[in-house]
């Protein structure tokens, strides 16, 4: 098989792909390969059996997915309010950090506690849309069962609050006990992650190794993204020249021993597989689209539908307006974004990029008040609706439950 000269860009692209493949992949040096063709085809030899039997689209899609998941991992949901004690004499700061190592890993257990990411205002505002236009009922539901479930939810909520209080107490202890241990005088005490690393250095080493591995793979992915186009263009040319020469390949000496599955016509097979897969995907996509359209059409274009749409639009506009107004109101001190670290300071001195916990608490409290107002409004609407329904039925007496 004769391939075109790869060229520097293509070589970089290929190198990028190979580095981004799983680590149990063992790229062999081209020196060990037995070729009697120009060297430039060697990298292609290395990659083709590995890369193509798995439909190329899938692998690249998974890389793309990995990249998309990164932002989600980094900006893990944080709850700064829960980690801070009630206003006291001790000053708490959120020190901006350049890197938040823990959050770079796909850690299912979530953020540790004294490292968090500060979002802008938009995060905390819940978007409560209008209620669903129709309810699914699977027969009569006993209201006592609903009350039971509400009660369970309330208990879970209270247990969550207790757990968070416990977490705060422990955080406070760690900060207090490790006072004076940190090399950085302005910080003064260790964070939970640092304390954990000291307690379990082996675990810390393991973490470091995993981090470095992740970093290498991510860099490789980035390199691949930059040179992807070149690679595929080159691949096209190779496939173009390869196919008609397939019969001639049979007379060539065998391929590398570690590529046993590659024989004559294998390439043909693979290309055909790719084409079938493409067909299948297209059909599946078409089927989905048709089904969705039918469903969307089934939703009806009646007055109900447009009324709901209008209501949704109005709510969204209202919320957007509220958001913008709030933005303008609070555009005073610019709030830093990104990862922060909780620091306990006796003197209360703060750097430029530091946030005072008290201010953050104030902001969050005002947001909480906002949401509570919304909740009360919605509850009022529910009550009015209930009263209207109850009023419509003659002889029905409405006894509200005893309040606290």
Give the sign of the dihedral formed by CA 207, CA 212, CA 215, CA 220. Answer: negative
Segment 121-150, which members bind other proteins (CB under 8 A)?
142, 144-145, 147-150
CB-CB contact of 151 with 97 (8 Å): no
Q: Measured from the CB atom, is 22 or 401 closer to other proteins?
A: 401
Burial class, 163, CB count within 10 angstroms (exposed 0-12 / middle 13-18 / buried 19+): exposed
Query: Is residue 338 a contact partner of residue 96, using CB atoms and an 8 Å limit?
Result: yes
Q: Which stretch binds other proteins (CB under 8 A): 216-224, 337-345, 376-384, 396-404?
A: 396-404
β-bridge mates for residue 279, sequence order: none
d(CA 217, CA 20): 5
Q: Give the residue with the Cβ less far from other proteins, 257 or 402.
A: 402
Torsion of CA 382, 385, 390, 394, to 10 degrees: 170
Residue 225 tokens read as 């993204």
Which is nearer to other proteins, 279 or 372 (by Cβ)? 372
Report, in Å, the least distance between residue 293 CB and other proteins. 40
Do the Cβ atoms of 203 and 196 come closer than 8 Å?
Answer: yes
Query: Residue 161 or 284: which CB sits closer to other proteins?
Result: 161
Nearest by Cα to 222 from 17, 65, 25: 17
Q: Which residue lies nearer to other proteins by CB, 147 or 329? A: 147
Binding other proteins (rule: CB under 8 A), the pick from 298, 332, 395, 402 is: 402
Residue 196 CB partners (closer than 8 Å, separation 6+): 112, 203, 204
CB-based contact 108:151 (threshold 8 Å): no
| Chain-centroid distance, C-alpha 198 | 29
Q: Is residue 293 within the footprint of other proteins (CB under 8 A)? A: no
Which residues ranging from 151 to 210 are in contact with other proteins (CB under 8 A)?
151-152, 154-156, 158-159, 161-163, 165-166, 169-170
Shortest spacing between CB 199 and other proteins, in angstroms:
18
Q: How far is the CB of 173 from other proteins (least distance, A)?
A: 8
Q: Could you say whether residue 79 binds other proteins (CB under 8 A)?
A: no
Residue 162 C-beta: closest distance to other proteins, Å: 6
Side by side, the strands of the sheet bearing 338-345 are 115-118, 338-345, 91-96, 355-356
Number of residues binding to other proteins, judged by CB under 8 A: 24
Of 165 and 215, nearer to other proteins (C-beta) is 165
In terms of CB distance, is 162 or 275 closer to other proteins? 162
Which spans of this chain sit near other proteins (rule: CB under 8 A)? 142, 144-145, 147-152, 154-156, 158-159, 161-163, 165-166, 169-170, 401-402, 404
């Amino acid at each position: 098989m004769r391939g075109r000269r790869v060229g520097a860009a293509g070589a970089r692209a290929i190198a990028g792909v190979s580095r981004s493949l799983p680590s149990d992949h063992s790229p062999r040096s081209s020196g060990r390969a037995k070729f009697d063709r120009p060297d430039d085809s060697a990298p292609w030899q290395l990659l083709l059996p590995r890369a193509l039997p798995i439909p190329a689209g899938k692998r690249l899609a998974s890389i793309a997915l990995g990249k998309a998941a990164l932002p989600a991992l980094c900006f893990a949901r944080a709850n700064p309010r829960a980690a801070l004690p009630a206003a006291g004499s001790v000053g708490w700061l959120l020190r901006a950090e350049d890197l938040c190592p823990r959050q770079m890993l796909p850690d299912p257990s979530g953020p540790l506690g004294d490292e968090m990411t500060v979002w802008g205002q938009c995060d905390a505002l819940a978007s409560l849309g209008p209620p669903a236009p129709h309810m699914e009922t699977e027969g009569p539901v006993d209201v006592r069962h609903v009350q039971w479930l509400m009660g369970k939810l309330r208990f879970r909520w209270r247990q969550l609050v207790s757990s968070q209080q416990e977490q705060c107490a422990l955080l406070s202890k760690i900060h207090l006990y490790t006072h004076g241990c940190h090399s950085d005088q302005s910080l003064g005490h260790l964070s939970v992650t640092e304390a954990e690393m000291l307690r379990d250095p082996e675990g810390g080493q393991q973490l470091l190794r995993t981090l470095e591995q992740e970093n290498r793979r991510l860099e490789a992915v980035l390199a691949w993204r930059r040179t992807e186009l070149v690679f595929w263009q080159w691949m096209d040319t190779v496939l173009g020249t390869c196919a008609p020469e397939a019969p001639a390949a049979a007379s060539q000496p065998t391929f590398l021993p570690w590529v046993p599955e590659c024989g004559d016509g294998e390439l043909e097979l693979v290309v055909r597989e790719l084409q079938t897969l493409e067909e299948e995907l297209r059909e599946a996509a078409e089927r989905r689209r048709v089904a969705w359209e039918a469903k969307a059409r089934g939703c009806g274009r009646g007055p109900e539908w447009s009324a709901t749409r209008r209501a949704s639009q109005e709510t969204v506009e209202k919320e957007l307006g509220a958001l913008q107004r709030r933005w303008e109101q609070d555009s005073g001190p610019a709030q830093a974004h990104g990862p922060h670290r909780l620091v306990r300071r006796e003197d209360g001195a703060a750097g430029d990029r530091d946030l005072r916990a008290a201010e953050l608490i104030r902001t969050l409290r005002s947001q909480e008040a906002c949401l509570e107002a919304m909740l009360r409004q919605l509850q009022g609407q529910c009550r009015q609706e209930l009263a209207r329904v109850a009023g419509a039925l003659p002889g029905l007496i409405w006894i509200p439950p005893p309040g606290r």
